[in-house]
Amino acid sequence: MKIIYTTDLYGNHTKYDRLVEAATEFHVDLVINGGDMFPKNIDLHKQDIFIRNELHKHFERFEQIGIHYLCCPGNDDLRIFDELFQQECGHFKYVYSKVSRLTGFALNNYLQVNLLQSEIPVSFQTYRYT
């Protein structure tokens, strides 16, 4: 299983486009977006507009190419939009959302991914895509 992990896209269209390109180029099975998905350089109370419009389009692209997408909001993504975010994710077969405010994690040669209610140990290599 090939996985791309990303975070801190902050609603940047170029970064979201590059993520789709990288996922396609590397023929990945799963993209994990670890949070800070929504823009923070705007009025933060307008993040819902990004979720409804831009994030929806982003999810559509992954749906069309058949790559699974696991995502959760981060600390810079306003909690008041968690329900809207989950509703938006629910429109897609290949998009899985987890609204969970994490306080810490650990990596030790293996990354434990809890996907679809099962623990899957995944060995990993790190690549930098620029």
| Residue 66's CATH number | 3.30.750
The overall average pLDDT reported for the chain is 81
pLDDT for position 128: 58
Mean pLDDT of 86-105: 76
Residue 92 lies in a domain: yes
Report how far residue 20's alpha carbon sits from residue 61's, in angstroms, rounded to the nearest whole number. Answer: 8
For residue 68, what are the domain limits? 3-123
For the cut 50, the answer to whether the pLDDT of residue 26 exceeds it is yes
Residue 89 lies in a domain: yes
For the cut 70, the answer to whether the pLDDT of residue 126 exceeds it is no
- The total domain count for the chain is 1
pLDDT for position 97: 84
Residue 107 lies in a domain: yes
This prediction has a pTM of 0.75
Residue 128 lies in a domain: no
Residue 60 lies in a domain: yes
